[in-house]
Amino acid sequence: MSQSLRPYNTFGIDADCQELICYHSTEECLEAAQHLKTSGLPWIPIGEGSNILFVNQHFPGIVVHNSITGIHPEEQEYSILIRVGGGEIWDDLVDYCTGRGWYGLENLSLIPGTVAASAVQNIGAYGAEAADCIVKVEGIYVNPDSDDAPYEGSLLHDECRYGYRSSIFKDELKDIFLVTYVWFRLRRRFKPTLSHAAIERHLIKDGIEPARATAKDIRKAVIAIRQQKLPDPKLTGNAGSFFMNPVVTPELATKILETYPDMPHYQTPANDGTEGVKIPAAWLIEQCGWKGKNLGKAGVNPRQPLVLTNLGGATGQEIVTLATTIQADVYRKFGIELHPEVRFV
């Protein structure tokens, strides 16, 4: 029997799958994992589906949804250690912690998705990323290519191999490790992260001196900035940033700057540790004339062109066609490959 995936993807694509399993505990996750192994079908773990694009109308396999809730804090002398069910909504956790005076997540306010997804994707915004506070990730190993029965395990922060929007869960353990719980360490003492200029600008506009901002001020500012720039997935289907910001070699950046001296760019190490220059994908897409444009029912957001949208009834294929057309244009004009941040299924 097929199962609709409409409520499980923020793009609002009308796809379905063969079977949907929601697990509410580690035990249920283990049972689900055993079923995955014996089913012979492909599978994919999802959270709120805020970073996924169902390319075809039908996914001929099993979608596994983490529905584990619960926030379990342990107060320690200088910090709070907190174990959170992967099915908790990310922004509910940020709100819960900011409201209690536990700091570290406030710059990541209003990011759609679940806690499990935050650990898989290493979500990031406004100078912070989830990995800054993650200490451990618990889950179930289920390897389709081995005869081993599924088993419980956990990875400490350093074993998760976090980088910009990357982790071991998106790479070597992709679809092999089903997250159950994520552990965070939060601070009791607050120090605002103000590295992103938009936050300072917003605070000053609200009459708040940035260095004196509280965590609640930062949360409020981030929410306001995001609401101004990013379309609400409840109203317009989207999955946030569709592409990652590319990191190019210093030589390529210098060459492009000769023609486009105003190109925004930031020195940053590439994920392999070599010297690199990050260029906003939004700027590249805008330069190619795509800002606010559409191809059929797939659109490019007029305020933040890094976000592709479902203008109503778009198919996964329509979004893919728009994405690949943009990629080809950016490559032709700048010699830069854009890589999707969104996962294609």
Scored b (16 or more CB within 10 A) or e, 285-301 reads bbbbebbeeebebbbbb
Is 341 near ligand EPU (CB under 6 A)? yes
Least distance between ligand EPU and beta carbon 200 (Å)? 13
Is 192 near ligand EPU (CB under 6 A)? no
188 flagged as catalytic:
no
Using CB under 6 A, pick the residue from 100, 170, 196, 297 that binds ligand EPU: 196
Residue of 48, 88, 129, 341 marked active site: 341
Distance CA 308, CA 300 (A): 5
Distance CA 70, CA 67 (A): 10
Least distance between ligand EPU and beta carbon 114 (Å)? 14
Contact 98, 31 (CB under 8 A): no
Distance CA 80, CA 184 (A): 8
Distance CA 179, CA 68 (A): 10
* CA 278 from centroid of its chain's CA atoms: 18
Using CB under 6 A, pick the residue from 166, 245, 310, 327 that binds ligand EPU: 245
Among residues 91, 109, 114, 111, the alpha carbon closest in space to that of 45 is found at 114
Using CB under 6 A, pick the residue from 86, 150, 237, 240 that binds ligand EPU: 240
Q: DSSP 3-state assignment of 336? A: coil
Closer to ligand EPU by Cβ: residue 142 or 282: 282
Which residues, numbered 265-294, are part of the site for ligand EPU (CB under 6 A)? 280, 282-283, 286, 291
341 flagged as catalytic:
yes
Distance CA 128, CA 106 (A): 9
The residue whose two tokens read 């710059």 is: 107
Closer to ligand EPU by Cβ: residue 84 or 244: 244
Is 316 near ligand EPU (CB under 6 A)? no
75 flagged as catalytic:
no
* Sheet arrangement for strand 58-66: 3-4, 16-23, 58-66, 43-46
Is 8 near ligand EPU (CB under 6 A)? no
* Contact pattern from residue 129 through residue 168 relative to ligand EPU, giving x for each residue in contact according to CB under 6 A and a dash for the rest: ----------------------------------------
The residue whose two tokens read 């005076």 is: 101
Residue of 129, 226, 241, 318 marked active site: 241
Is 110 near ligand EPU (CB under 6 A)? no
Residue of 165, 185, 219, 226 marked active site: 165
Which residues, numbered 292-311, are part of the site for ligand EPU (CB under 6 A)? 304-306
Is 241 near ligand EPU (CB under 6 A)? yes
Element (H, E) at 10: none
Q: Which residues pair with 266 in a beta bridge?
A: 278
Label residue 300 left, alpha or beta by phi (over 0 means left) and psi (-120 to 50 means alpha): beta
Residues that bind ligand EPU (CB under 6 A): 125-126, 196, 198, 229-230, 240-241, 244-245, 264, 280, 282-283, 286, 291, 304-306, 341
The residues annotated as belonging to the active site are 165, 241, 341
